[in-house]
Amino acid sequence: MADTRKANPPTRRTTPRRRKNDASEGVTIDQALKDDMQLNLVTPSGQPVLASSGRQLEVPARIVEQNLGSRKPESTPQDQAAAVMATLLSDLGLSLEDATSLADHVRAHMKRSTSSRTAPVSQSDLDYLRDHAGLSDPSTLDDWRPEAEDKLRAEIAVANAAQFILDTLSRDEAAHLLNRDRTVVSRRVSNGQLLAVQRDGRPRFPSWQFYKGEALPGMSEIIGALTSAEMDTVSLGNFMTLPNDELDGLSPVDYLVGGGDPEVIAALLDAVARS
Last residue of a domain, one of 166, 183, 204: 166
Instruction: Find the domain containing 149 and state its range.
Output: 85-166
Do 159 and 177 belong to one domain? no
Asked whether residue 9 is assigned to any structural domain, the reply reads no
Amino acid 136: pLDDT: 75
- Same domain assignment for residues 142 and 214: no
Looking at residue 244, its pLDDT comes to 94
Residues 249 and 176 in one domain: yes
On whether both 245 and 204 belong to a single domain, the answer is yes
User: Total structural domains in the chain?
Assistant: 3
Q: Are residues 140 and 203 in the same domain?
A: no
Q: Name the region of 212 (left: φ>0; alpha: ψ -120 to 50; beta: rest).
A: left
Predicted confidence (pLDDT) per residue in 169-214, tens digit: 989 999 999 999 999 999 999 999 999 988 777 899 999 999 999 9
140 lies in the same domain as 105? yes
Domain boundary among 166, 190, 208: 166
**Chosen domain end from 166, 189, 216:** 166
- Partners of 58 in the beta sheet? 40
Task: Clarify whether residues 157 and 225 are in a common domain.
Answer: no
Element (H, E) at 40: strand 38-40
Same domain, 198 and 160: no
Give the separation between CA 174 and CA 3, rounded to whole angstroms.
90
Q: The pTM is what? A: 0.55
Q: What are the Cα distances from residue 233, in Å, to 193, 214, 217, 237, 272?
A: 17, 20, 19, 6, 14
pLDDT tens for 149-161 read 777 777 777 777 7
Q: Tell me, what DSSP letter sits at residue 265?
A: H
Looking at residue 264, its pLDDT comes to: 94
> Are 185 and 262 in the same domain?
yes
77 falls within a domain: no
**212 alpha carbon, distance to own chain's centre:** 27
DSSP state of 59: E
- Rounded Cα–Cα distance for residues 210 and 194 (Å): 9
HEC assignment per residue over 92-130: HCCCHHHHHHHHHHHHHHHHHCCCCCCCCCCHHHHHHHH
Q: Which residues of the chain have pLDDT under 50?
A: 1-2, 4-24
Residue 17 in domain = no
Would you say residue 19 lies in a domain? no
- Let me know whether 260 and 179 are in one domain: yes
Are residue 150 and residue 176 in the same domain, yes or no?
A: no
pLDDT at site 13: 38
Q: Is residue 203 part of a domain?
A: yes
* Same domain, residue pair 176 and 266: yes
| Structure confidence at residue 20 (pLDDT) | 39
- Is 14 a domain residue? no
Judge whether 72 lies within some domain. no
Q: For residue 74, is it within any domain?
A: no
